[in-house]
């Protein structure tokens, strides 16, 4: 065991049984037991949420854990927090650990703010004496002192979250394990939380931080581990791991939902990519987008319209682009193939899911229209250095030149 390591993990694996639920009832268990006696075939499958994780985190290091949903990030945190128990492998953690998988664990709606501070603080591992010592600070940080003796069920959700986070922020562990709990509250509060996290990190504590917010990861972490399908696929410098994560996103297939038209002119292929990173489905704000479409003329068509329409996850049309907008004319004879490339510099859409639809048409005649041909998502962590979540309903970011004059 090395002196300077805070966390050491050897071959950690976790499997879950899936598709075997009958055991939950007494009758089912009796029947299942009988069946097991009579035959040897198993009714369940094993799903490896995490396999063979080796990891060493040195003392004072701030490690980010990223990966797509289902990659095993939360399972890893739950194992290291001892909430769940490994199927194989072992690990050791040196020093006082606190894990924050949620803010406000154990809060009871009937109890007052004051009582909940003690309740939640104790649940997070503080002693009562410690809470008493930090009580004023916690109350100050939360900004709910007027309502300290009101049951928290009468709190607004904002107050509730602020109180909950205030307790968590005053933990003083040597090793802090944090899940995406910072994505709560309003922007000002998020900034406060993130500031507190940074403070914790600067104080030489070891931090494990799981997030989808690449901006926060880039700002806080010095090292990043990328998980994919329960394994570590990258481990190293933050920038590298983040771009690896972005390029891991699946390459778009021809996964459109609806396509129609008479195919006098048709799309042969279509692809969304990053000019340097190649085909992508996940972009950071401010990235360039490159759309490449190969079209074939099956009949002679003069001056057709190639339209690109962008919708967001709620189906709202964000923009519509036409070849004529930028002065490109498309005409062809039967058998002609043309590769159309559209480069969109510095796209500043708000974080979220989007899809491009593409259409070839002239007047009211649809030649080939593909709805939602190219899906992608926009994530934070590019040019705007904001690390908090954007408020709801934000559609775009407008890059500007800010300066202060006196």
Neighbours of 74 (CB within 10 A): 20
132 binding another protein? (CB under 8 A): no
Whether 375 contacts 271, CB under 8 Å? no
25 binding another protein? (CB under 8 A): yes
Site for another protein in 57-86 (CB under 8 A): 78-79, 81-86
102 binding another protein? (CB under 8 A): yes
Per CB under 8 A, the segment of 59-67, 100-108, 243-251, 293-301 that binds another protein is 100-108
97 binding another protein? (CB under 8 A): yes
Per CB under 8 A, the segment of 118-126, 195-203, 288-296, 322-330 that binds another protein is 118-126
Among positive and negative, which fits the CA dihedral 275, 278, 280, 285? negative
In the shown chain, the binding pattern of residues 325 to 354 toward another protein, with x for contact by CB under 8 A and - for none, equals ------------------------------
CB closer to another protein out of 184 and 306: 184
Q: How many residues bind another protein (CB under 8 A)?
A: 46
34 binding another protein? (CB under 8 A): no
CB closer to another protein out of 101 and 292: 101
- Residue 390 has what DSSP assignment? P
Tokens of 250: 């699946």
Q: Who's near 119: CB < 8 A, 6+ residues apart?
A: 106, 107, 108, 111
| Pick from 85, 15, 12, 96: nearest CA to 55 | 12
- The span from the CA of 237 to the CA of 63, in Å, is 10
CB closer to another protein out of 123 and 187: 123
CB closer to another protein out of 108 and 341: 108
SS3 365: strand
Q: Who's near 98: CB < 8 A, 6+ residues apart?
A: 124, 125, 171, 173, 175, 176, 177
Whether 377 contacts 283, CB under 8 Å? yes
Whether 141 contacts 170, CB under 8 Å? yes
89 binding another protein? (CB under 8 A): yes
SS3 167: helix
Question: Minimum distance from CB of 121 to another protein (Å)?
Answer: 9
Site for another protein in 153-182 (CB under 8 A): 172
CB closer to another protein out of 174 and 361: 174
- The span from the CA of 377 to the CA of 370, in Å, is 19
- Which residues form the interface with another protein (CB under 8 A)? 13, 16, 23-27, 29, 78-79, 81-97, 99, 101-102, 105-106, 108, 110-111, 115, 118-119, 122-124, 127-128, 130, 151, 172
């Amino acid at each position: 065991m090395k002196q300077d390591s805070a966390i050491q993990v050897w071959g950690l694996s976790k499997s879950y049984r899936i598709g075997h639920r009958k055991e939950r009832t007494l009758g089912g268990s009796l029947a299942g037991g009988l069946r097991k006696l009579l035959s040897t075939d198993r009714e369940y499958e094993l799903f490896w949420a995490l396999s063979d994780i080796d990891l060493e985190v040195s003392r004072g290091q701030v490690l980010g854990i990223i990966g797509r949903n289902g990659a095993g990030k939360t399972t890893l945190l739950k194992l290291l927090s001892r909430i769940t128990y490994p199927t194989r492998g072992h690990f050791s953690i040196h020093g006082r650990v606190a894990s924050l998988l949620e803010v406000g664990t154990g809060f009871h709606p009937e109890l007052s703010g004051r009582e909940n501070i003690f309740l939640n603080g104790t649940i997070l591992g503080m002693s009562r004496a410690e809470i008493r010592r930090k009580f004023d600070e916690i109350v100050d940080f939360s900004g709910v002192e007027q309502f300290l003796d009101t049951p928290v069920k009468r709190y607004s959700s904002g107050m509730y979250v602020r109180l909950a986070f205030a307790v968590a922020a005053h933990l003083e562990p040597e090793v802090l394990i944090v899940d995406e709990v910072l994505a709560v509250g309003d922007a000002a509060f998020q900034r406060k939380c993130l500031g507190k996290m940074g403070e914790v990190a600067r104080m030489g504590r070891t931090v494990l931080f799981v997030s989808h917010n690449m901006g926060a990861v880039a700002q806080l972490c010095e090292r990043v581990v990328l998980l994919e399908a329960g394994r570590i696929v990258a481990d190293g410098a933050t920038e590298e791991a983040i771009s690896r994560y972005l390029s891991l996103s699946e390459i778009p297939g021809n996964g459109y939902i609806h396509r129609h038209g008479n195919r006098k002119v048709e799309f042969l292929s279509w692809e969304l990519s990053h000019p340097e990173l190649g085909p992508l489905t996940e972009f950071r704000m401010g990235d360039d987008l490159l759309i490449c479409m190969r079209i074939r003329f099956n009949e002679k068509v003069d001056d057709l319209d190639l339209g690109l329409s962008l919708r967001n996850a709620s189906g709202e049309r964000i923009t519509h682009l036409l070849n004529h907008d930028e002065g490109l004319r498309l005409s062809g004879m039967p058998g002609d193939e043309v590769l159309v490339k559209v480069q969109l510099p510095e796209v500043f859409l708000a974080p979220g899911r989007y899809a491009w639809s593409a259409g070839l048409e002239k007047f009211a005649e649809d030649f080939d229209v593909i709805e939602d041909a190219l899906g992608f998502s926009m994530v934070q962590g590019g040019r705007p250095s904001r690390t908090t979540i954007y408020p709801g309903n934000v559609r775009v970011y407008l890059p500007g030149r800010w300066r202060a004059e006196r």
